[in-house]
């Protein structure tokens, strides 16, 4: 480094430049990770056994590295990762939250995590009690009358919610075809509604990043089955007009789906079921 120039840029900030050659750049011809040696078992003509269709016309261009080269390469790359254990991890409406290690340890207990789906219920009472308690806790937190743990993931939960909305309208004889989705909603919302056969009607946020109730009222009619809202939205802003919007949708017979990606931001302050 030129010591005469190291402080010339007063606007510079501290940074870390991470450079790691890829495995192909580190490849050395003839280098192997591990050699099993001769086994004493007669060789088999693999091409004759499997047929020529499964074979490449040329040898695959795979990197040739020692075991320690591979281990150190990927270990170094892992240290470059940013995670919620290191600092704040913002991802819009689905910000990663830090989970206490004891919770992860408990969730990974094989007595719970490795329960067989067809295990007799009399031998899985502890698991069922845990699920029942979780259902009740989530109902209390959200203000809902009932909770299902059937969905396996967030997007699966969206699909479940939309299927319930569709079933509700079908039971009432309502042939509704549209779902209102703000541009600030969770990204998978449109896909979940579309899978259920609904047409997506997007509504734009205002200059403050919020939904305008008057704009919702303009497009809310008897064709709309529901509105899907992420609150706080993907911009991290609380939809302060949520109750007014919900009233507009309910007045026309529609339902309100609230994406729970940011439930942590609301917990203890407000319950969507109460609104």
Identify any residues that bridge with 228 across adjacent strands, giving them in sequence order.
257
The whole-number pLDDT of residue 5 equals: 43
Task: Quote the longest CA-to-CA distance of the chain.
Answer: 81
| Domain spans, the chain | 101-140, 150-270
- Structure-token pair, residue 199: 């047409």
Question: What pLDDT is stored for residue 6 in this prediction?
Answer: 45
Mean pLDDT of 116-133: 92
Contact 26, 69 (CB under 8 A): yes
Q: How confident is the model at residue 4 (pLDDT cuts 50, 70, 90)?
A: very low
Beta bridge partners of 224: 178
Instruction: Identify the three-state secondary structure at position 256.
Output: strand
Take residue 170 and report the two structure tokens written for it.
């079908």
Helix (H, G, I), strand (E, B) or coil at 255: strand
222: phi then psi, degrees, rounded to nearest 5: -75, -5
Give the model's pLDDT for residue 83.
Answer: 80
CA dihedral 123, 129, 131, 136 (to 10 degrees): 160
Q: Residue 233 pLDDT > 90, yes or no?
A: no
pLDDT surpassing 70 at residue 273: yes
Q: How confident is the model at residue 98 (pLDDT cuts 50, 70, 90)?
A: confident
Q: Is 234 exposed, middle or buried (0-12, 13-18, 19+ CB in 10 A)?
A: buried
Residues 184, 202: contact at Cβ < 8 Å?
no
Tokens of 186: 């969770």
Residue 17 Cα distances to 80, 122, 179, 184, 208, angstroms: 10, 57, 46, 34, 36
Q: What is the pLDDT of residues 37-76, one digit of tens each?
A: 788 888 888 888 888 888 888 888 899 999 999 999 999 9
pLDDT (tens digit per residue) in 172-224: 999 999 999 999 887 789 999 999 999 999 999 999 999 999 999 999 999 99
pLDDT at 128: 92
pLDDT at 227 > cutoff 90: yes
Whole-number pLDDT of residue 210: 94
Structure tokens given for 22: 């890829």
- Domain at 150-270: CATH architecture: 3-Layer(aba) Sandwich (3.40)
Is pLDDT of 244 > 90?
Answer: yes
90, pLDDT greater than 50: yes
- Which H/E stretch holds residue 212? none
Q: Which residues contact 162 (CB under 8 A, 6 or more apart)?
A: 179, 192, 193, 195, 196, 198, 226, 228, 257
């Amino acid at each position: 480094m030129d010591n005469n120039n190291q402080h010339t840029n007063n606007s510079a900030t501290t940074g870390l430049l991470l450079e790691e050659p890829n495995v192909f750049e580190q490849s050395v011809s003839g280098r192997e990770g591990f050699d099993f040696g001769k086994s004493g078992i007669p060789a088999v003509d693999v091409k004759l056994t499997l047929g020529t269709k499964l074979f490449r016309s040329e040898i695959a261009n795979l990197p040739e590295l020692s075991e320690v080269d591979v281990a150190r390469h990927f270990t170094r790359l892992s240290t470059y990762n940013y995670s919620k254990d290191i600092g704040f991890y913002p991802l819009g409406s689905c910000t990663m939250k830090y989970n206490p290690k004891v919770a992860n340890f408990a969730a990974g207990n094989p007595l719970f995590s490795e329960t067989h789906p067809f295990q007799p219920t009399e031998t899985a009472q502890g698991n069922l009690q845990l699920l029942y308690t979780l259902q009740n806790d989530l109902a209390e937190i959200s203000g809902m009358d009932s909770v299902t743990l059937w969905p396996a993931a967030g997007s699966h939960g969206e699909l479940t919610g939309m299927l319930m909305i569709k079933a509700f309208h079908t039971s009432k004889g309502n042939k509704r075809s549209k779902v209102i989705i703000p541009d600030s909603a969770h990204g998978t919302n449109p896909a979940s509604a579309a899978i259920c056969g609904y047409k997506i009607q997007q509504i734009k946020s205002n200059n403050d990043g919020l939904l305008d109730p008057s704009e919702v009222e303009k497009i809310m009619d008897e064709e709309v089955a529901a509105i899907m809202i992420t609150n706080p939205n993907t911009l991290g802003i609380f939809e302060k007009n949520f109750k007014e919007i919900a009233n507009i949708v309910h007045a026309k017979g529609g339902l309100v789906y609230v994406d729970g990606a940011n439930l942590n931001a609301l917990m203890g302050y407000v319950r969507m079921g109460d609104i």
